[in-house]
Structure formats: C-alpha cells, structure tokens
Amino acid sequence: MNELIFFINYVVISGSVSGSIYAMGAVGVTLIFSIMRFAHFAHGDMMTFGAFMVLLLTTLFPQAGAAIGIPTPILLMPLAMALTAGLAVGIDRTFYKPLRAHGVKPIVMVIASLGVTLMLQGLIRLFAGTGGSSLYVDDRKEIFRLPVPIESVRVPVVITEPQLYLFGLTIISVIGLHLFLSRSRLGKAMRAMSDNPDLAQASGINTNTIVAVTWMLAGGLAAIAGTLLSLDVTFKPDLSFFLLLPIFAAAIVGGVGHPFGAIAGGFVVGFAEALAVFNWGLLLRPFRDSLPEWLELPSNLAFVGTEYKIVVPFFILVAILVWRPTGIFKGKVIT
C-alpha cells in the first residue's frame, strides 16, 4: 500500500500540478492562435512576468494576506493578473499590431514574439536578478501530510497549499472560460472571429476589441499559471520560459484553436511526464520476494531520468505532428 501512496504523490498529484499549469498556458496560446493566427512564443515570459508582479507586490505589502488569512501572493494575484493583462495588450499595441497592419506572414509574428521573449526576460532579470527567490516573503508554505487511515500505510499523501490553490483556480478558470465562450456575447464573438474573421467583421464585430480581450484573457491566465508555478517551486526569471515546449505540445495535442482541447492536452502532457519519470520499481517492490533470483530489481525503473523530463513533451510533440497534426480535437495546423 505504501507504494500506491508513492504513486499518488509522484504521479497523480505531480501530474495534476504540471497538467494544470500547462493547461492554463496552452489555453492562452491556443486562444491567441485562433484569433491572431500565430504561435506566441513570448507566452512563457508573460507567465514569468505575472509571477514577477506578484513577487514585487508581495515584497511591497508582505503583511497584506495575514489580515484575511490567505497567503499574501494569492491575495495579490488578481492585481498581478490585471497588470499582466495590461502588459499583454500593451505588447500587442506596440509590437504586433503594426505588423498585423502591414499584413505580414505568421512567421514574422512568431519571430517578433521571440524578440519580445528576449526583451521580457532581460527586463525581469534586470529587476529581479538572475537567481531564484521565494514568493513567500512573510508567509510560510503550508505542507499538508495527510496520513492514510490504513494500519500498514506509513507514507502520508503530501500536498502543498499552493497546489491546492492551483487545482481550485484551474477548475474555476476552466468553468469560467466555458461560460464566457458559450454564454457571453463577447465570448461568442470571439469564437465567431476564430471561425471566420471576414464574416465576423461583416457582422459588425469589432475585431480590435476581440483582439484586446484575447490578450487580456491570455495574460490573466498566464499570470495565474506563472504565479502558482513559482509558489510551488521558487521564482526564477527563466522558469516559465522552459515551459514553452510542454505548453506548445499541450496546445498541439489538444488541437490548436480548441480551448478545451488545450486543457486536455495540458493534462495529457503533464501526466505523460509524471508517468515517464516515475520510478516503476516502487510498484514492483512488494513482489520482490516472489521474483526469481536471477532477476534483481534495479533501484530505479523510470523511463527517463527527472533531469531529462523535457524529452517527454518533445517526443509527444514530434509524434503528434507526424501522426496526427490536427491534434485530438481536429484543430488547425500551426504554420
């Protein structure tokens, strides 16, 4: 039974954590692609920017959360989301909009977004330094060790406070996004523009408004993902940049242009990573005595070492591009 708890801790919880973060990043990437038709590479750094805003605000008001009893970074996150949404709209106005007005090819936009990536990372390094820093300035990260009420089980299920917030906020975001896209006039207009931009315009939908709303949504979600990731580990200026590959893999697996596909894709990639680095030897341990003598159980039976985790999304990405380029939900093909 202890082994099963290991599995829950290292695969179920850990997979859900990365899955949630990838999902929220991938939703932003896929929304931007469906409206503006380009792969936004600066997305990871928008996540970092959101986390950096939380760090900044938490450093300024370290006591703010204690008054209400929730961690300060979580309390200040809505503010950081607004700032990141503002940044996203600002970046679009300054860099992407003039390019769109020229009618450039998508690849030019992609390269421009790479430029934005470097700029954002440089800026964040300039102010935050290159090292890591904890978003818990005054608070303490709560770690819950939940004992399992079974006699023989000694290992507790371990879950941290930011992970619980992450799961909660992911569920709220998904439901909120669903309601927005399926019920609100603006959300439907957004889907209309993704479906058929010319007809959307001919119906009187203001495409500039839709573009701005898309950036705000993507920016806000990026800020949530970046902050909760930094809460779970520590804040580093290049933390989210390295998530770019799994996030794009998630968006493509889900079928680009499908927000809910992106969420599914996020969890597929997250769990695939967790399953690949899990030490399957742990699960075989109870049968150690019944194994034949010549078969000695190696201490580590993972598919890939943790340090090579990045090959998993890379493999998924290549596989899906070769065998099913439109993803699970028949999305668009990124060009």
Binding site for another protein (CB under 8 A): 185, 188-189, 191-192, 194-196, 198-206
Q: Is 243 in contact with 266 (CB distance < 8 Å)? A: no
Q: Which stretch of DSSP H or E encloses residue 144?
A: strand 143-146
Nearest CB to another protein, comparing residues 209 and 306: 209
Q: Exposed, middle or buried, 184 (CB in 10 Å: 0-12/13-18/19+)?
A: exposed
Nearest CB to another protein, comparing residues 62 and 197: 197
Taking the complex as a whole, the smallest distance from the CB of residue 207 to another protein amounts, in Å, to 9
Taking the complex as a whole, the smallest distance from the CB of residue 188 to another protein amounts, in Å, to 6
Nearest CB to another protein, comparing residues 140 and 185: 185
CA dist 13 and 7 (Å) reads 9
Nearest CB to another protein, comparing residues 191 and 309: 191
Q: Could you write out the three-class secondary structure of 153-187?
A: CCCCEEEEHHHHHHHHHHHHHHHHHHHHHHHCHHH
Taking the complex as a whole, the smallest distance from the CB of residue 261 to another protein amounts, in Å, to 12
Q: Is 218 in contact with 28 (CB distance < 8 Å)? A: yes
Q: Look up residue 178 and give its two tokens.
A: 């669903």
Taking the complex as a whole, the smallest distance from the CB of residue 110 to another protein amounts, in Å, to 24
Taking the complex as a whole, the smallest distance from the CB of residue 191 to another protein amounts, in Å, to 6
Taking the complex as a whole, the smallest distance from the CB of residue 49 to another protein amounts, in Å, to 32
Q: Is 288 in contact with 224 (CB distance < 8 Å)? A: no
Nearest to 40 by CA among 100, 125, 123, 106: 106
Nearest CB to another protein, comparing residues 36 and 231: 36
CA dist 93 and 211 (Å) reads 10
CA dist 281 and 225 (Å) reads 32
Nearest CB to another protein, comparing residues 198 and 307: 198
